[in-house]
Chains A and B, each alone.
Chain A
Amino acid sequence: MSETTALGLSARTGGVMVAFTVVFTAVMAFTYDATRDQIQASATEEKMKLISEVLPGTTYDNALLEDYVRLGPTRELGLDEGGRVYRARKAGQPAALLLETTAPDGYSGRIDLIVAINADGSVSGVRAVNHRETPGLGDYIDPRKDRDKKSPWIAQFSDLKAADVPACKVKKDGGQITYHTGATISARAVTNAVGRAARFAADNQNRLFAAKSGGPL
């Protein structure tokens, strides 16, 4: 008698659980589907806005988002699954490289960056695209969260000359990049990633610009 009750109870609760799972998964799937295009459009717009912050629109005249090289997993850029390098050209001549790169050693995991390196090897600009650094502490790597609006921390990288790239380290490590006390790890992760990206761009510049658009390096 009690066995049938236990069995019946299991079947009933199991059925209800499945029903709830199906219904709410459907709700989530429907929402995902309804919002996907809008979210993608926002993301592209966001990307263009970021690009215009690291690379002024006057420095190139090609369709930047369509002129790229696909990279496989690249340790120098912290890309485990590959990424893209966009190529900015002015009148057909190489102007700058725009690299997607990741600092794997942020305080709260990976920091995705976009780094623009001019053809002469100098750094044009850097922005954090995705990060989870502590709000109010390490998140000054994102200029929108930086308290110093006039000269945000990340602006130090703009116009870093090619000769300065070896000194692209935080001061604690003997470089020239300042950081906020108590939040060195975030700054160090970004700084080292920028240095690696600059060296990667300098070492591979000719190959990167020569490769077929949309193809692999």
Chain B
Amino acid sequence: MDFQAHKEIAWNGIWKQNTGVVQILGLCPILAISTNVVNAVSLGLATILVMALANLAISALRNFIPYEIRIPVFILIIAALVTVVDLAFNAYLHELYLVLGIFIPLIVTNCIVLARVEAFAAKNEPAHSTTDGIAMGVGLTLVLAVLGAMREIVGSGTLFSGIEMIFPGTEGLTLFGDNYPGFLVAILPPGAFIALGFLIAGRNWIEARKQARARANPPASGAPQASVEPSAPAEAA
């Protein structure tokens, strides 16, 4: 039962309420960082960590936070956590910090962290809240990765450039040869808006197809199930 709840939360974060293409939150880092896959995924991973920690901390403390001043307290906790993560990375994972370093403070500007804390962690127990933070972070990371790949391939004709800083010995791919002139619009912010538009359209298209199919044959699958087990449709919805 509890596993079911976690699964529901995870699905919600990754697909149904995806931060990047459904809630359209956190556009600032999405547009700024998704110029290549490595940068995008790096920011995504740092966001997962901060969101999980913030959701966990605030969910655990939620009974001590008066409703009237919840927002300032949330901001205080998130900022403190980000500072701690930033310092800890700098001290103990210095190599990784050189790559992720500039992204960690950026997370404070990401309204998705505050949004999830306010909408979920403040009302739910710690385990579920942590799952929600991770799932929302993973959803964002997936969008960032796809967006980064689109912009990098079109804009500079490479994939995974810069990966040698994270995994020494590996090398990014050059897709169209060394003479690819590049397509600057894809690298600049307008390219991010255009690529994000395609992603949102793609997700809506998949959802619309799914709904159309569900409408087309409800008697075949929906009706018999409902008569055998009354709780099934409620769970599906």
Check A28 against B83 for contact (C-beta < 8 Å): yes
Collect the chain B residues with CB atoms within 8 Å of residue A12's CB: 66
Measured in the bound complex, the distance between the Cα atoms of B150 and A38 in whole Å is 39
Chain A residues, Cβ within 8 Å of B158: 147
Interface string of A172-194 (1 = CB under 8 A from B): 00000000011000000000000
**Closest B-chain residue to A45, C-beta based?**
B94
Q: A135-B35, A135-B39 are in contact. Are A31 and B76 (CB under 8 A)?
A: no
Over the window 32-52 of chain B, the binary record of Cβ atoms lying under 8 Å from chain A Cβ atoms (1 yes, 0 no) is 110110010000000000000
> A199–B234 Cα gap in the complex (Å)?
77
- Whether A17 contacts B72 in the complex (CB less than 8 A), given A35-B90, A42-B91, A145-B162, comes out as yes
Interface residues of B in 86-129 (CB under 8 A from A): 87-88, 90-92, 94, 98, 102
Q: Within 8 Å of chain B (Cβ to Cβ): is A9? A: yes
Instruction: Report whether A38 and B77 are in contact in the complex, using a CB–CB cutoff of 8 Å.
Output: no
Given contacts A132-B102, A181-B184, contact A13 B66 (CB under 8 A): yes
A211 at the interface (CB under 8 A from B): no
Of the candidates B92, B152, B158, the one having the most CB atoms from chain A within 10 angstroms of its own CB is B92
Which residues of chain A have C-beta atoms less than 8 A from B152's C-beta? 136
Main secondary structure of the interface of B (DSSP, over half): helix
Contact call A24/B77, Cβ cutoff below 8 A = yes
A35 to B89, CA, bound (A): 9
Across the interface, which residues of B come within 8 angstroms of A27, CB to CB?
A: 80, 84
B83 in complex: contacting residue of A20, A31, A136, A182, CB < 8 Å:
A31
Indicate if the CB atoms of B162 and A16 lie closer than 8 Å. Answer: no
B-side interface size class: 35 or more
Question: Judging by beta carbons under 8 Å apart, are B68 and A13 in contact?
Answer: yes
B28: Cβ under 8 A from any A Cβ: no
**Alpha-carbon distance between A147 and B188 when the two chains are bound, in angstroms:** 17
Instruction: State whether A31 touches B33 (Cβ < 8 A).
Output: no
Which residues from A are CB-within-8-Å of B64?
16
Q: Are A136 and B39 in contact (CB under 8 A)?
A: yes
* A142–B234 alpha-carbon span in the complex (Å): 56
Contact: A17 with B69, CB < 8 Å? Answer: yes
Cα distance A34–B91 when bound, in Å? 9
Looking at chain A's contact residues, is the secondary structure mostly helix, strand, loop, or mixed?
helix
A25 to B172, CA, bound (A): 42
Tell me the complex Cα distance, A21–B92, Å.
26
Q: How large is the interface on A (under 10, 10 to 19, 20 to 34, 35 or more residues)?
A: 20 to 34
Contact with A along B5-39 (1 / 0, CB 8 A): 00000000000000000000000000011011001
Q: A13-B66, A42-B94 are in contact. Are A28 and B88 (CB under 8 A)?
A: no
Contacts of A20 in B (CB 8 A): 65, 73, 76-77
Most buried by B among A24, A34, A46: A24
Q: Is B165 an interface residue (CB 8 A)?
A: yes
Q: Determine if A136 and B35 form an interchain contact, defined as CB atoms under 8 angstroms apart.
A: yes
Q: If A16-B66, A181-B184 touch, does A135 touch B90 (CB 8 Å cutoff)?
A: no
Q: Do B76 and A42 touch across chains, with their CB atoms under 8 A apart?
A: no
- A63 to chain B: which residues have CB within 8 Å? none
Contact of B80 among A28, A34, A35, A181 (CB under 8 A): A28
In the complex, the answer to whether A16 meets B188 with C-beta atoms within 8 Å is no
- Checking B73, B87, B92, B182 against A17 with a beta-carbon cut-off of 8 angstroms, the contacting residue is B73
Contact with B along A1-34 (1 / 0, CB 8 A): 0000000010011001100110011011001101
* A79 contacts partner chain B, Cβ-Cβ < 8 Å: no
- 9 nearest A-B residue pairs (beta carbon): A136-B35, A35-B91, A38-B91, A24-B80, A42-B94, A35-B87, A31-B84, A13-B69, A182-B184
